[in-house]
C-alpha cells in the first residue's frame, strides 16, 4: 500500500492516516475511560450506522466513543463528526496491530456495520471477552464465509454475539453455517433517510436556480451515467426544465469533462456567487455533502452507479422525498432496488432509448410522477424500524 500510495492520492491519505492511529488513541483515551467502538468501512456504511450511533451517543453520554474507518472516503468527510469523541483510520489487520488497537480502545461494546469483517481484530475482541455486534449485514452465497476455504472468516463471524441482517436470505445463509444469533431487522438506512425529512433541507441557491421549473437531479453519477444523460440534457434543458448534476467524483478533471460536453447553459456551484442562477439551465455541484438536501428540490431523480460497474448509489435518499427514481440495470447486489422496482416507484433503464422514454413520460405527466413518488415514500415509511430492534438488544 505504501508503494501504491506513491501513485494514488486516495491510498496515500489512508497510509498517512493509519500511521497516526495509535498516537491519536494514546493521546485521547485513558485506561479508565469507558468506551464504545463503532467501525465503518466507508461513508456509505457510516450513513447506514448513523441512526444507531446517534442513539448510543444519547443513551450513553459518559462513554467515550471511538469511530474508525478503513477508507479515506469515509474518514476525510466525517473526521469532524460529533457522534464520536475520537475518529481514526483502522490499522492494517495484523495480529500485532489488532492487540495493540483493542488494548488502547478497550471497548465495552463494539458495533460493526454491514460487511467490513476483519478477522484479527474480531478474534482479539473475542480473546478479551469483549462484546460486538454486526448491524445491517447483507450476505450472499458466493462470499467466503460460506465456502470450504472460508474457515477463518467464519470464525470471525462467530465472534459477534448477535448479527442483525437486512433480509431473510442472509439469515438462512448464516443458519446454514450454524450461526443462529441472528435477527432480520431490515436496513438502518430507512431510518436514516426518514430522519432527513425532520431536518432543515433549505438551500437558497437551489431555490433560486430551480425557480418555477421542473427539476431533475442526477445524483452520484459516473461516466457511464453521464454518457446517456448529457445528450438528453443538451436536447431538452430550458428555463422550464432544469438539471442538477452532482457527480460522485468531484475532481477538476471530471467536472471539466462534464462541463465541456454540455451545450446547455451551465453554472458550477463553485462559481455561483454574484450570478443570477435563474438564468442557467444546468447546475453542476462540484463539492460534496449537499446531495441529500438537493434531492428535496427534485421532481425526478436519477441515481448513478448502476449503468456501469461501480455499484448503485443510495436510492433511498431521493425516495424519502416522495419522487420517482431512475437507475441503470446493474443493481443485482442491491436488494432495496429489487424491492422498490417491484413494489414502489423506482424505474430501471438499460439504454438511451429507455432513458428518453421514461423521462419524457415523467416530465409530461404530473399524475405519473406523483403516483410513483408516493409509492417510494410509502415504501420508506413501511421499511423503518431496524434501529428500534437494535437498540432494544443493546444494553451496556
Output the DSSP codes for 333-396.
Answer: T-HHHHHHHHHSSEEE--SHHHHHHHHHHHHH-HHHHHHHHHHHHHHHHHT--HHHHHHHH---
**Residue 369 contacts residue 345 (beta carbons within 8 Å):** no
Half-sphere exposure for 394 (CA within 13 Å, toward CB): 27
Q: Is residue 129 part of a domain?
A: yes
Is the pLDDT assigned to residue 211 strictly greater than 70?
yes
Domain stops at, among 136, 160, 186: 186
Q: Is residue 389 part of a domain?
A: no
How many independent structural domains does the chain possess?
2
Domain stops at, among 186, 219, 237: 186
Q: Is residue 318 part of a domain?
A: yes
**Running DSSP on this structure, what letter comes out for residue 246?**
E
Which listed residue (19, 45, 59, 208) is catalytic?
45
pTM beyond cutoff 0.95: no
Q: Is residue 325 part of a domain?
A: yes
Dump pLDDT digits (tens) for 326-347.
999 999 889 899 999 999 999 9
- Is 45 annotated in the active site? yes
Does residue 132 sit in the same domain as residue 230?
no
Across 300-323, average pLDDT: 95
Please report, for the domain that includes residue 375, its CATH number: 3.40.50.2000
Give pLDDT, residue 6: 67
Give pLDDT, residue 5: 66
**Running DSSP on this structure, what letter comes out for residue 140?**
-
Does residue 182 sit in the same domain as residue 224?
no
- With a pLDDT cut of 70, the percent of the chain lying above it is 99
Q: Is residue 394 part of a domain?
A: no
- With a pLDDT cut of 90, the percent of the chain lying above it is 88
Does residue 42 sit in the same domain as residue 158?
yes
**Residue 114 contacts residue 160 (beta carbons within 8 Å):** no
Do β-strands 182-184 and 325-327 pair in parallel, antiparallel, or remain unpaired?
unpaired
Q: Is residue 192 part of a domain?
A: no
Give pLDDT, residue 333: 87
Q: Write out the residue range of the structural domain in which residue 179 sits.
A: 1-186
Is the pLDDT assigned to residue 270 strictly greater than 90?
yes
pLDDT tier, 39 (very low <50, low <70, confident <90, very high otherwise): very high
Does residue 91 sit in the same domain as residue 223?
no
Q: Is residue 388 part of a domain?
A: no
The residue written with cell numbers 506513491 in the block is: 6
Dump pLDDT digits (tens) for 180-210.
999 999 999 999 999 889 889 999 999 999 9
Q: What angle do CA 75, 80, 125 make, to 5 degrees?
A: 55
Q: Is residue 392 part of a domain?
A: no
Give pLDDT, residue 17: 79
C-beta atoms surrounding 83 within 10 Å: 18
Instruction: Give the chain's end-to-end CA distance (angstroms, integer).
Output: 37
Does residue 124 sit in the same domain as residue 54?
yes
Amino acid at each position: 500500500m505504501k508503494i501504491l500510495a506513491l501513485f494514488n492520492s486516495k491510498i496515500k491519505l489512508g497510509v498517512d492516516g493509519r500511521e497516526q492511529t495509535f498516537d491519536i488513541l494514546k493521546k485521547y483515551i485513558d485506561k479508565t475511560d469507558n468506551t464504545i467502538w463503532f467501525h465503518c468501512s466507508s461513508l456509505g456504511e457510516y450513513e447506514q450506522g448513523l441512526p444507531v450511533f446517534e442513539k448510543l451517543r444519547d443513551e450513553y453520554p459518559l462513554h467515550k466513543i471511538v469511530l474508525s474507518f478503513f477508507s479515506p472516503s469515509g474518514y476525510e468527510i466525517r473526521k469532524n463528526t460529533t457522534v464520536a469523541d475520537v475518529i481514526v483510520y483502522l490499522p492494517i489487520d495484523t495480529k500485532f496491530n489488532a492487540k495493540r488497537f483493542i488494548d488502547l480502545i478497550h471497548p465495552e461494546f463494539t458495533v460493526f456495520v454491514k460487511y467490513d469483517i476483519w478477522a484479527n481484530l474480531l478474534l482479539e475482541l473475542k480473546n478479551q471477552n469483549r462484546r460486538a455486534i454486526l448491524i445491517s449485514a447483507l450476505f450472499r452465497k458466493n462470499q467466503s464465509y460460506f465456502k470450504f476455504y472460508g474457515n477463518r472468516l467464519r470464525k470471525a463471524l462467530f465472534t459477534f454475539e448477535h448479527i442483525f441482517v437486512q433480509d431473510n436470505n442472509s439469515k438462512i445463509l448464516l443458519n446454514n453455517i450454524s450461526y443462529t444469533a441472528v435477527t432480520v431487522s431490515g436496513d438502518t438506512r430507512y431510518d436514516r433517510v426518514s430522519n432527513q425529512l425532520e431536518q432543515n433541507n433549505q438551500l437558497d441557491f437551489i431555490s433560486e436556480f430551480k425557480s418555477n421549473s421542473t427539476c431533475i437531479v442526477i445524483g452520484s453519477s459516473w461516466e457511464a451515467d453521464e454518457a446517456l444523460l448529457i445528450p438528453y440534457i443538451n436536447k431538452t434543458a430550458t428555463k422550464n426544465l432544469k438539471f442538477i448534476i452532482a457527480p460522485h467524483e468531484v475532481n477538476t478533471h471530471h467536472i471539466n469533462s462534464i462541463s465541456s460536453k454540455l451545450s446547455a447553459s451551465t453554472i458550477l456551484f463553485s462559481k455561483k456567487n454574484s450570478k443570477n442562477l435563474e438564468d442557467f439551465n444546468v447546475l453542476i455541484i462540484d463539492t460534496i455533502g449537499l446531495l441529500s438536501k438537493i434531492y428535496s428540490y427534485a421532481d425526478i431523480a436519477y441515481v448513478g452507479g448502476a449503468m456501469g460497474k461501480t455499484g448503485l448509489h443510495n436510492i433511498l435518499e431521493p425516495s424519502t422525498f416522495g419522487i420517482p427514481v431512475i437507475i441503470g440495470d446493474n443493481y443485482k447486489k442491491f436488494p432495496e432496488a429489487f424491492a422498490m422496482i417491484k413494489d414502489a416507484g423506482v424505474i430501471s433503464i438499460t439504454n438511451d432509448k429507455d432513458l428518453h422514454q421514461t423521462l419524457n413520460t415523467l416530465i409530461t405527466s404530473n399524475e405519473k410522477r406523483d403516483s410513483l413518488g408516493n409509492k417510494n415514500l410509502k415504501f420508506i415509511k413501511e421499511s423503518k424500524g431496524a434501529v428500534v430492534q437494535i437498540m432494544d438488544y443493546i444494553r451496556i
